[in-house]
Amino acid sequence: MDDIAIARALHVVGVVVWIGGVSFVTTIVLPAVRRTKDPQERVSFFERIEGKFAWQARATTVLVGATGFYITAVWDLWGRFNSVSFWWMHAMVLVWALFTVMLFIAEPLFLHRWYLRNAKERPNSTFRLIEKLHRILLVISILTVLGAVAGSHGMSF
Ligand code: HEM
């Protein structure tokens, strides 16, 4: 059972670093970027910060996914995915899948180029859209954490 306890601890550490980072970028960095007047400076400031954070987010996404699937496999929790009362299990996989697609597929393939082009041509609307998407992701992530902690400690929905 020690292996599950360790996997669970690593799972939670991954979630704290990852979702904490999303929260910091969404509530502190992006509003600061918005207040930067010079569009060129805005683009390079955001690039520097988000670029570093993206690597942290990639590493923690892998850690959270690996430990999450490990616990699910060892405890054979797959049946939970057939029940809506375990919506928080679906939510965890959904949040993980969204970030995995964004960070490993969309960003390197086209999102980065899209961002560079639009941030120069339409800086205001582009940053407004980026902020909105980050806020949506943050809200979904926090609801998932609430559901996962309450659900895995016995609360039934
Ligand atoms: C591939 C994706 C994921 C899988 C398969 C997964 C699986 C699991 C499993 C099996 C548990 C233990 C449930 C129990 O004890 O009954 C758990 C706990 C938890 N997960 Fe995930 N998870 C994933 C992603 C995420 C994500 C993205 C988040 C955050 C947004 C998250 C947050 C949590 C939290 C907060 C707990 C509760 C830990 C505790 O209080 O002990 N998980 N997860």
Q: Whose CA is nearest to atom 4 of ligand 1?
A: 68
CA separation for the pair 153, 138 (Å, rounded)? 23
Q: State the total domains in the chain.
A: 1
Cβ–ligand 1 distance for 71 under 6 Å, the answer yes
Lowest mean pLDDT among 62-66, 83-87, 124-128, 152-156: 124-128
Residue predicted with more confidence, 41 or 11 = 11
Q: Which amino acid is at 91?
A: A
Average pLDDT value for residue range 102-113: 92
Q: 157 in a domain, yes or no?
A: no
Report the pLDDT value the prediction gives residue 52, as an integer from 0 to 100. 85
Q: 27 in a domain, yes or no?
A: yes
Q: Dump pLDDT digits (tens) for 21-73.
A: 999 999 999 998 888 878 778 888 888 888 888 899 999 999 999 999 999 99
Range of the domain at 128: 2-152
Q: 96 in a domain, yes or no?
A: yes
Q: How far is the CA of 135 from the centre of ligand 1 (A)?
A: 21
Cβ–ligand 1 distance for 91 under 6 Å, the answer no
Average pLDDT value for residue range 81-107: 97
Q: 48 in a domain, yes or no?
A: yes
- Beta-sheet strands, E only, within the chain: none
Q: 137 in a domain, yes or no?
A: yes
Q: Whose CA is nearest to atom 10 of ligand 1?
A: 72
